[in-house]
Amino acid sequence: MRRSDDLMPRRRLRDLGVTIGRLPTGRYNAITDVAGVRVGHSTIVAGEGPLVVGEGPVRTGVTVIMPHEGDIGLEPLFAGSHMLNGNGEMTGLLWVKESGMLTSPIAITNTHSVGLVRDALIAYEAKSTRRPELFWSLPVVGETYDGWLNDINGMHVTREHVWAAIESAAGGPVAEGCVGGGTGMICHEFKGGIGTASRRLPDEEGGWTVGVLVQANYGERHLLRIDGLPIGELIPCSEVPGFREARRDATGRDAGDGSIIIIVATDAPLLPHQCERLAQRATIGLARVGGIGANSSGDIFLAFATGNRGLPGAEVSSREIASCRMIANDAMTPLFEACAEATEEAILNALCMATTTTGIHGRVIHALPLERVRSLLGT
Has 151 been annotated as catalytic? Answer: no
Task: Report the b/e string of 295-316 with b at 16+ CB within 10 A.
Answer: eebbbbbbbbbbbbeebbbbee
DSSP assignment of 211-249 equals: EEEEEEEE--GGG--BTTB-HHHHS-TTTS--SHHHHHH
Three-state secondary-structure class, residue 355 = coil
Catalytic residue among 249, 299, 318, 323: 299
CA distances from 339 to 37, 198, 303 (A): 16, 8, 10
Nearest to 297 by CA among 379, 220, 192, 376: 220
Task: Report the b/e string of 322-340 with b at 16+ CB within 10 A.
Answer: eeeebbeeeebebbbbbbb
Helices (H), the chain: 93-99, 114-128, 159-168, 231-234, 244-251, 272-280, 282-289, 332-353, 370-377
Nearest to 161 by CA among 41, 23, 316: 41
Catalytic residue among 81, 104, 113, 297: 297
CB 67 within 8 A of CB 36: yes
Rounded distance between C-alpha atoms, residue 57 and residue 50, angstroms: 7
Has 137 been annotated as catalytic? Answer: no
Q: Residue 42 CA to chain centroid, in angstroms?
A: 14
Rounded distance between C-alpha atoms, residue 273 and residue 343, angstroms: 20
Catalytic residue among 33, 81, 259, 267: 259
Has 299 been annotated as catalytic? Answer: yes
Question: Residue 246 carries which side chain, given as an amino acid letter?
Answer: A
Nearest to 79 by CA among 29, 37, 123, 135: 37
Rounded distance between C-alpha atoms, residue 374 and residue 368, angstroms: 11
Q: What are the beta bridge partners of residue 211?
A: 198, 265
CB 197 within 8 A of CB 34: no
Annotated active-site positions, please? 259, 297, 299
